[in-house]
Each structure stands twice: as C-alpha cells, then as structure tokens.
Amino acid sequence: MTASKPRGSVPGLTIRNLRIEDAEVISSAFYELGWDKPVTQYEKYFRRQESGDIVVFVAEVDSAFTGYVTVVWHSGYSSFAEKGIPEISDLNVLSAFRRRGIASALMDSAEAKIAERGSVAGIGVGMTPDYGAAQKMYVLRGYVPDGRGLTQNFDPVRYKQPIVVDGSTVLWFTKDLKRA
C-alpha cells in the first residue's frame, strides 16, 4: 500500500504500510514514553507483513511517526480463528497525538483492508482503565461483544475463577463491515 490521505480532517496525516526502517523510529518513540516496545518487535512485524501473515499501518503527521495498528489475518483467539475473522490488534497512538482522529484513521485503514477479504472484523480490548478510551471508541465504531465473555491469555474466564487483571485480560468484539 502506498501512503494515503485518510478521510477526516487531520492535517498532514498519512497512513502507509510498515517499512523495515520504521522499527527503530517506532521503538524509540515508545521508549521515550517508558513503554517496552523493542526494535525486534517491529522487525518481526515487518517480516510477518512480508510473508502476508499481517498488515501493519503506520500513521504519520507531516512525516513524523504518530501511531500504528496491525491486522492479523489468523487470530490467536480461537473463536475468531474458527470463523476466519481477522483481528485488529496493537492499536497505538503516541500520547501527544491522541484525540485528533489518528486512531480512527488507523481503524478506517484496518477495516478497509479486512473488507477486501471478508465482512467481519474482530478486536480485543483490555479491561483496565488504561484501555477506557479504546473501549469507548470500539463501541462507538459499531463493535459489539462476541458473547463469549472475558478471556485471560485467550482462554475463557469461568464463573468464580480468580484472575489477575492485566494486559492479557481481554473482552472480544466483532463488527459487521457490510452493515457499517
């Protein structure tokens, strides 16, 4: 995919596919925020993208990195895998660029790519307050819970099962792209 200007009104915003040279830039940007996102993660993403396993969209404003999102064609979540539902994963926008429509533009790109192959998109969201903005955004975009309940490390959480809520504690959603 070549760089494109997404719909909306984010001046200077372009969305394009991940390039190998982005690995250091992205890792450094998140390191400055105190997040552990090593260069090797993005090098792996690039290799997986080259093999067709995933697609990574990178957002830039005036050529400066602002965020990214990943489309995983074969989800690790069994319900999506069984139904062939691609998963939108790892949506991240740098703090300084939030609330400007960049996450929405990245989601638009991911959903458009999925719509080229199918009619349903899936997404998982964490259950801590850190994910509150994402939880709201997904619902407002038309995502609904898949009805299978909360998971921990992709496994269903059972009634009265004690769990530690962390980044692996996820509620899964789907969206019918044809109705959107």
CB 134 within 8 A of CB 123: no
Kind plus residue range of the DSSP H or E element containing 46: helix 39-51
CB 51 within 8 A of CB 127: no
Query: Which residue did the predictor score with more confidence, 179 or 144?
Result: 144
User: What is the pTM for the complete model shown?
Assistant: 0.90
Nearest residue to 1 via CA among 94, 96, 82, 106: 106
pLDDT tens readout for residues 29-71? 989 888 889 999 999 999 999 999 999 999 999 999 999 999 9
pLDDT tens readout for residues 151-179? 999 999 999 999 999 989 999 999 999 98
pLDDT tens readout for residues 110-134? 999 999 999 999 999 999 998 999 9
Using CA atoms, how far apart are residues 167 and 52, in angstroms rounded to an integer?
26
H helices then E strands: how many in the chain?
A: 5, 8
CB 127 within 8 A of CB 165: yes
Q: Report whether pLDDT(1) > 60.
A: no
CA distances to 13, 30, 40, 71, 100 from 33, in Å: 21, 5, 18, 24, 19
Q: Report whether pLDDT(4) > 60.
A: no
Residue 2 confidence (pLDDT): 44
- Beta strands (DSSP E) in 32-72 are 54-61, 64-72
Q: Which CATH superfamily is domain 13-176 in?
A: Gcn5-related N-acetyltransferase (GNAT) (3.40.630.30)
